[in-house]
Amino acid sequence: MGSTTKIDWRQQRVTSSDGTTIAFLSLGLGPGLVIIPGNNRRAHHYQTLAQHLSDSFTVHVIDRRGRGDSGPQGPAYSVNAEVDDALAVLEHTGAQLVFGHSYGGLIALHLGLRTAVNALIVYEPGVSIGGSFDDRWLPAFTHRLNQGKLVTAMAIFLKGTRLTPLGNAPMIAFRALACLLLYSGEGRDTRAMMATTPAEIGEVIRLDSDGSRYADVASPTLLIGGEKSPTYLTGVLPNLTHTMPDARYVILPDLDHNAPDLNAPELIAQQIDTFAREQLD
């Protein structure tokens, strides 16, 4: 697998079925692999993951709707629109391998309901089965977001999703982290992406089910979770594995929800590489 400094991104665009422009970044050589980012993430957040895969695959990382040079979510937004976007990238590139992270994993599974690919890999997809997804924070988040109180909204998101190591720390700790995320480094991007969250989490909740719909995902599928992630994200993986006709799952020790983009991209790249090669051999 590739180093983390070797190849520059190639910027590309496609037009989705509703006329929305979808930008994506490409890297590497070999069979095509499309990466679908999670909530509050852009294509460049997966640079290290892509570079570790770039000797074996041509990696295409989507800037999803509402991000970068891609068009807006639009008034008729749904997971199906995101699937249309990903399918446009697959058609343009000829890729037949798909990896989705978090909300991008939900999109990837619904892509699998529409078409078969050579390999489908998801990390902690935003799937709700029997009300499993914890969305109790969403109304307060949306209210503060609409008021323009971004720090408070982000603090509510961070505390409610339980995706940080802060645990049950007081809200002031989450506000401090929210300030850091919103007003340093990539803060401008983070602030812009917050507006996409209500519609995306709304889709997770709208699609809550008994999980049986995923029995129609025919592609060979690897479901990955991290040992340190909340159970509302990892607990659905055995259910999905039992439901889907050609799926298996693995829980990786010492990893959390941000393993693909921040904390362990090399380890996730190894999982993707091994599974994809098995399906291509």
What Rg, from alpha-carbon coordinates, does the chain have?
18
Mean pLDDT in residue range 167-174:
95
Short-list 258, 263, 250, 259, CA closest to 224: 250
Residue 238's pLDDT band (boundaries 50, 70, 90)? very high
Alpha helices in 41-78 (DSSP H): 47-53
Tens digit of each residue's pLDDT (9 = 90 or more) over 173-226: 999 999 999 999 889 999 999 999 999 999 999 999 999 999 999 999 999 999
Judged against a pLDDT cut of 90, whether residue 8 lies above it is answered with: no
Mean pLDDT in residue range 246-270:
98
Q: What is the pLDDT of residue 255?
A: 98
The more confidently predicted of residues 281 and 103 is 103
Mean pLDDT in residue range 113-128:
98
Domains along the sequence of the chain with CATH: 10-128+210-280 (3.40.50.1820), 138-198 (no CATH)
Judged against a pLDDT cut of 60, whether residue 2 lies above it is answered with: no
For residue 99, give both structure tokens: 């990896």
Tens digit of each residue's pLDDT (9 = 90 or more) over 30-63: 999 999 999 999 999 999 999 999 999 999 999 9
* pTM of this structure: 0.96
CA distances from 123 to 11, 226, 251 (A): 25, 8, 10
Share of the chain above pLDDT 70, in %: 98
Residues 6+ apart with CB under 8 A from 11: 23, 25, 26
Phi, psi of 250 (to 5 degrees): -145, 140
Mean pLDDT in residue range 142-161:
98
Q: What is the pLDDT of residue 6?
A: 46
Sheet holding 10-15, edge to edge: 10-15, 21-28, 58-63, 32-36, 97-101, 119-123, 221-226, 247-252
Mean pLDDT in residue range 91-106:
98
Judged against a pLDDT cut of 80, whether residue 7 lies above it is answered with: no
Judged against a pLDDT cut of 70, whether residue 137 lies above it is answered with: yes
Judged against a pLDDT cut of 50, whether residue 4 lies above it is answered with: no
Q: What is the pLDDT of residue 1?
A: 55
Tens digit of each residue's pLDDT (9 = 90 or more) over 27-39: 999 999 999 999 9
